[in-house]
Amino acid sequence: MKSLLFALSCVLLVSQCKPSAPKLDPKIARLVGTWVLEKPDSAAGSTVTFALDMANPPHDITSFDLQGQSVQTSYVGRMYATIDGTMQFQQISQTAKSGSDQTDPSVSQSYLVKLGSVARYEQLTDSTLRLYFGRPRSGVLSYKIRR
């Protein structure tokens, strides 16, 4: 009887323990927020917002939901980042903004192609982010955090 009570109390004790939330590396945590494109074309007013994907807790790779805007489109997708600076965008889908001038959709399309080919990121300060892309030619997208 004592062993049965001991076993039941152990089960109750274990069932009340909650798994600890995974720790988020500070380098990854600084990516969260809305970033405004400054270079190569700050006039385009493009933004990207990174939010932690709470359904997929971080391990070696941290998953983010993203949304943003470019000149003529809004877009959503997923992004993955690691503490060593690698980054990959996936499943980016776009929607044309109502009332936007569709005379030159190549500007928005070019931005999304660059974003989709990002392979690495670098934060120079807490408020500056660089995304290194590979298509159509390699280059850098430079952002400032929106406060």
Alpha helices per DSSP H over 1-138: 2-16, 26-29, 106-116
Tens digits of per-residue pLDDT, 64-117?
A: 999 998 877 899 999 999 999 999 998 898 888 766 555 566 777 888 889 999
More confident residue, 134 or 147: 134
Report the mean per-residue pLDDT for the chain. 82
> What would the mean pLDDT of 117-133 be, rounded to a whole number?
94
The lowest-confidence range among 61-65, 103-107, 124-128, 132-136 is: 103-107
pLDDT for res 142: 95
Q: What pairs with residue 63 in β-bridges?
A: 80
Predicted TM-score (pTM) of this structure: 0.78
Question: Is the per-residue pLDDT at 9 higher than 70?
Answer: no
| 20 has pLDDT over 70 | no
Torsion over CA of 43, 94, 124 and 38, rounded to 10 degrees? 0
**CATH class, 20-145 region:** mainly beta
Domain extents for the chain?
A: 20-145
Please report the pLDDT score of residue 13 as a whole number: 47
Which is more confident, 89 or 57? 89
Please check the confidence at residue 3 and state whether its pLDDT lies above 60.
no
CB neighbour burial string for 83-94, b if at least 16 within 10 angstroms, e if fewer: eeeebebeebeb
Greater model confidence, 53 or 104? 53
